């Protein structure tokens, strides 16, 4: 039956010419039709004839399309019923369970060990760290892709995983559902409290005097004796003065890799160490005079590390053998025309050496900013493998821990490493007089297979002269 109003059955816009377009246009209009109405499409549309529109509770739209040459039948009949097509709209499904996989590793890393920070049933927010994967070079954090609840851990703690390995199952949106009941539970708890204070003001100040004597009985010997058993468990440990115990902790992958590389350096390189001392008077004076202006302009502090890094870059350009490396596979010496200096940083999980690249083109401010950025990433455990790849020379500053003297070990495949130590006032001879100067011992360990003693000593003296008088950098001397 057609409606009297022709507005509903008016012809489609001019742009719709094909039968398919007619069907789409008429179908969209039928979606707005009243329930249980039958309409006949125009004669120009040959694909469909009658159409029965019905809506059932719980569905946004429920339509049955009856093809041509088929009689109109009720929705409950199944015999001779043509194909039914249902069009529904609904909200996005919450509580969807997804599987989070191991992120892809760098090319030089193949596997890692999982260290879980969350357990089954824990609620996590989006981007909250669920676990860490310890590799040979760094730790990779795995954040939650969405807010929800952890349903299952697919890898045990300490298990080995590769890139793409399923880690855990996350139920999306479940955390919000759990968070809703808690405010509701807190709401009923708050109303009972107001009535009690209303009864308290009636007794007047005398009641307050009666309330205070009630507290002393709580401090009597009986309650104290009752509290002692709760604090008793930690007490037995110190009771046995002669107790001698030990604990075993599995070495993480980073510590194992560090041990392997250090031993490899000892077995491969012909290491030799030369020493010198640096008078820190001039660089200390320059730092004290310019540190405030430097901080105001560059928004970073001026330290001693930038002076040694820049002096090392200057010396590496002057002595290219120290900046080179031996390729054991091809039996060739590789000389670099760039300077990438690795700075050793101590972290709770081990020693890492992030790289400052193209130091020869940097000034003091650029070096300080790069060191601060890498140090911050190391403290937050956010160093990537790319931050530690490469490096042509390494500087290790043991002076921050109060070291006075030491012999550093080469970081393979590099050929040399500079060891800095603490600054201490010592008596030194200056122009025939004994003066107290701030002095630092420096040590250079080098691979004697590539670097000769003459080159090593010249290199270390170049660093000494530049640090003692930074004006040599301006004169390129």
CB distance 260 to 251 below 8 Å: no
**Whole-number Å distance between alpha carbons of 22 and 16:** 6
**Whole-number Å distance between alpha carbons of 335 and 325:** 7
Three-class SS of residue 67?
A: strand
Please identify which of the residues 14, 452, 469, 476 carries the catalytic annotation: 452
Degrees (nearest 5) of the Cα angle 135, 138, 143? Answer: 85
Who contacts 270 (Cβ-Cβ below 8 Å, separation ≥6)?
447, 448, 449
**Whole-number Å distance between alpha carbons of 84 and 82:** 6
Please identify which of the residues 6, 448, 469, 476 carries the catalytic annotation: 448
If you compute the radius of gyration of the chain from its CA atoms, what whole number of angstroms results? 39
CB distance 407 to 262 below 8 Å: no
Who contacts 9 (Cβ-Cβ below 8 Å, separation ≥6)?
2, 3, 39
**Whole-number Å distance between alpha carbons of 147 and 76:** 43
Q: Is 448 a catalytic residue?
A: yes
Q: Is 421 a catalytic residue?
A: no
- Tokens 């596997």 found at: 111
Residues classed as catalytic: 448, 452
């Amino acid at each position: 039956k057609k409606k009297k109003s022709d507005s509903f059955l008016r012809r489609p816009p001019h742009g719709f010419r094909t039968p398919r377009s007619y069907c789409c246009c008429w179908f969209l209009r039928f979606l707005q039709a009243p329930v249980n109405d039958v309409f006949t499409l125009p004669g120009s549309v040959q694909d469909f004839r009658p159409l029965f529109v019905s809506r059932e509770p719980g569905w946004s739209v429920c339509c049955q399309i009856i093809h041509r040459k088929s009689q109109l039948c009720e929705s409950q009949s199944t015999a001779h019923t043509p194909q039914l097509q249902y069009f529904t709209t609904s909200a996005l499904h919450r509580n969807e369970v997804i599987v989070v996989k191991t992120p892809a590793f760098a090319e030089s890393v193949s596997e890692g060990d999982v260290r879980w920070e969350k357990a089954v049933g824990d609620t996590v927010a989006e981007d909250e760290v669920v676990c860490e994967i310890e590799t040979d070079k760094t730790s990779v954090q795995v954040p939650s892709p969405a807010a929800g609840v952890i349903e299952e851990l697919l890898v045990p703690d300490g298990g080995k995983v590769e890139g793409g390995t399923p880690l855990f199952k996350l139920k999306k949106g479940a955390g919000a559902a759990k968070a809703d009941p808690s405010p509701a539970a807190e709401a009923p708890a708050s109303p009972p409290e107001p009535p009690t204070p209303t009864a308290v003001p009636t007794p007047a100040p005398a009641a307050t005097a009666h309330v205070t004597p009630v507290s002393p009985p709580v401090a009597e010997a009986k309650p104290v004796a009752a509290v002692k058993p709760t604090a008793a468990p930690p007490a037995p440990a110190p009771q046995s003065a002669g107790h001698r115990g030990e604990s075993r902790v599995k070495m993480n992958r980073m510590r194992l890799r560090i041990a392997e590389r250090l031993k490899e350096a000892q077995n491969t390189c012909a290491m030799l160490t030369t020493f010198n001392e640096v008078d820190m008077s001039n660089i200390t004076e320059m730092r004290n005079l310019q540190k405030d202006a430097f901080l105001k302009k560059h928004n970073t502090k001026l330290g001693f590390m930038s002076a040694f890094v820049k002096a090392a870059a200057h010396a590496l350009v002057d002595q290219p053998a120290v900046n080179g490396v031996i390729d054991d596979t091809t039996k060739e010496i590789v000389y670099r025309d760039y300077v990438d200096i690795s700075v050793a940083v101590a972290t709770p999980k081990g020693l890492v050496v992030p790289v400052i690249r193209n130091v020869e083109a940097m000034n003091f401010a650029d070096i300080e900013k790069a060191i601060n950025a890498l140090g911050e990433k190391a403290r937050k455990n956010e160093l990537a493998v790319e931050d530690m790849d490469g490096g042509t020379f390494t500087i290790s500053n043991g002076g921050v821990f109060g070291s006075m003297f030491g012999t550093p070990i080469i970081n393979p495949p590099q050929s040399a490493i500079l060891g800095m130590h603490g600054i201490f006032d010592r008596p030194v001879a200056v122009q025939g007089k004994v003066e107290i100067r701030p002095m630092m011992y420096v040590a250079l360990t080098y691979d004697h297979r590539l670097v000769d003693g003459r080159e090593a000593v010249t290199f270390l003296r170049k660093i000494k002269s530049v640090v003692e008088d930074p004006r040599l950098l301006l004169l390129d001397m």
